[in-house]
Structure 1
Amino acid sequence: MRRQAAMMAIGMVASGSLAACGSEPAPQPTPTASATASTGAAAVTGPERRILTFGDSLFAGYGLGEGESYPARLEAALRARGINAQITNASVSGDTTQAGLQRLAFTLRQQDDYDLAVVELGGNDLLRQLPPQQTRDNLDAILRGLQERDIPVLLMGMRAPPNLGAEYQRSFDAIYPDLAREYDAALVPFFLESVYNRPQLIQPDRVHPTAEGIDTMVAATVDAVAAAVPPTE
């Protein structure tokens, strides 16, 4: 049963990456702020907390309507808690960690005074069965680039399926907790934990979460995000 669940998880991530990558390569995006009004978030007071979400199709909102992506729903959930969150979603469907690293500098040239960066990458590396060391090196460089700009990080972890072999699985699964410790970053150990084995929360492509699935993921992770936002002085 555990093996089957793990396979469902990687199938959800990897197959989604294939679907997202089937079209022409996406151009370098200009980061866009989440539309708070469309999520129904209540107005809050207090200092603005600028958050960058930097990931792949799981953050980009593949197959969802406006205001239904994870970053948009996360912003609403944070604001409902009284956190004056303004989320900039700079995510691209199909991105590997290498692709993310290649566009990080462009993203930060648009704005680099974020209070927090939420990094969600690695599922497409699993799809391509890229060497775990390559994934680690790319994520290390991304976190280092954010650290150099004094931007705290929350890292969204991924897990490898057992069919890739025990050694591969051990090497890949260690990446996220190791880097979180090295860079003193907050960590969600497995970003898909709340939905990967609940098909009713997955779109007909059997890959991406539905809008309800996104809300489930937000409910499961908003505490970690809120805790990772640095306190105001």
Structure 2
Amino acid sequence: MQFHLNRLFNTAFLLIFGLAVVSCSEKKAETTQAETVTEKTTESKSDQKIILFFGNSLTAAYGIDQEDGFAGLTQKRIDSLGMDYKVINGGLSGETTAGGLSRLDWFLEDKPDVFVLELGGNDGLRGINLTETKSNLLKIIDKVRSKFPDTKIILAGMQIPPNMGQEYASEFTAMYPAVAEEKNVTLIPFLLENVGGIPELNLPDGIHPTEAGHKIVFETIWPYVENSIN
């Protein structure tokens, strides 16, 4: 499903404004998320298998409690099924693919059995050259595979509104299946399926899902995660 274009055009200003708000709060968010990730990583050093969600503010559940975000909901589902997996939330507000590549090594101190890559949205909203974005995604996948060849990798596809131009938006959308095919990783076609561009399922910034929105995102993600751990 594509973004509802009429909603996208109507919310283009909100998206740009929301990006500015996120950028202004990025330093504070980085500190908070770093503390949370440190705690979760320490807890995970056991015999439990690891599912690592590595992304930006969407993964970090910006604006709501982290346990109510799709990564937290994944942990709840796993616990309810009695599966011995620990979810690590490697989300960082404001993160780009370049930033993700630069901080990845720290998260690879322990082997992730499943690596869910959710990055690129901030690149798109900022109009970063897509050649650079694609290169960074490929390098992130390569780095994970180089250290842990058996890790199952899931790439979360994204779409952006056409405020940077329809051609750029189309090329951005097509980038994810191209990366998934080139690296032979599992692709979630669109992370925000049935959520993106729907005002009542997003915070006032028009970018980040509400708790209700995250529940829908989780249901989109779960079949791919479940298939990777069974």
Same fold (TM > 0.5): yes
Judge conservation of contact 1:15–1:127 (CA < 8 Å) in 2: no
Give, in whole Å, the separation in 1 of the partners of 2:146 and 2:15: 30
Q: Which residue of 2 aligns with 1:194?
A: 194
The yes-or-no answer on 1:18 pairing with 2:20 is yes
Please tell me whether the aligned partners of residues 50 and 114 of structure 1 are also in contact (alpha carbons under 8 angstroms): yes
Q: Is the 8 Å Cα contact of residues 56 and 93 (structure 2) preserved in structure 1?
A: yes
Alpha-carbon shift at residue 152 of structure 1 (Å): 1.8
Q: CA deviation at 1:65?
A: 2.0
Distance in 2 of aligned mates of 1:140 and 1:32:
28
Amino-acid identity (%):
31
Kept in 1, the 8 Å contact 2:14–2:205? The answer is no
Unaligned runs of 5+ in 1: 35-46
Q: TM-score, normalised by structure 2?
A: 0.82
| Partner Cα separation in structure 2 for residue 8 and residue 107 of structure 1 | 38
1:55-114 deviation per Cα after TM superposition (whole angstroms, max 9, x unaligned): 0000112111252122111111233345333101111000011111110112213x2x11
1:1-233 paired onto structure 2 within 5 Å: 2-7=4-9, 16-23=18-25, 25=27, 26=30, 29=34, 30-33=37-40, 48-109=48-109, 111=110, 113-149=111-147, 150=149, 151-229=151-229, 231=230
TM-score normalised over the length of structure 1: 0.81
- Which one is further off, 88-97 or 145-154? 145-154
Assess, with a 3 A threshold, how the Cα gap between structure 1 residues 219 and 13 changes in structure 2: closer, same or farther.
Answer: farther
Q: Give the C-alpha shift of residue 170 in structure 1.
A: 3.6
Distance 1:12 1:186 in 2: 32
Q: Paired residues, what number?
A: 217
Higher fraction of helix: 2
Partners of 1:32 and 1:89 within 8 A in 2:
no
Change (3 A) 1:62 1:169: closer
Describe the SS at the equivalent of 2:171.
helix
Find the counterpart in structure 2 of residue 42 from structure 1. none
Q: 1:9: how far off?
A: 8.3
Q: Which runs of 4+ in 1 moved over 6 A?
A: 8-13
Question: Residue 60 of structure 1: SS of its match in structure 2?
Answer: coil
**RMSD over aligned Cα atoms:** 2.8
Counterpart Cα distance in 2 of 1:84 and 1:76? 12
Check conservation: 2:15, 2:205, Cα contact below 8 A.
no
SS at match of 1:78: helix
